[in-house]
Structure 1
């Protein structure tokens, strides 16, 4: 799998949203929820890409 630098930025944004939410108790829902959703979306993309690469490598 090739590295996609833009995903590093998205992971950073997701991390910042979750961490800031822990310090800002007034706005607990929006930032944390968005950060966790971004994290799971990126994780799903990574796992699916690894699975597809493995399938292509072993099917040929």
Structure 2
């Protein structure tokens, strides 16, 4: 699934992404670490994997979107 980086806290390595419909979905340090990223800037397109439904969605992996 694709999304756009929305927020990112470098100290905690957590933040949130926006799905293409504008829904924010949070991610935590393990999801960030699983993608092997060093830094994330708001507005970057990312590829994510999620678990859960609707309001209980959580990102389990976040990495840069490659074309």
Tell me if TM exceeds 0.5.
no
Q: What TM-score, normalized to structure 2?
A: 0.18
Q: Which structure has the bigger radius of gyration?
A: 1
* Higher strand content, 1 or 2: 2
Q: What TM-score, normalized to structure 1?
A: 0.19
* Higher helix content, 1 or 2: 1
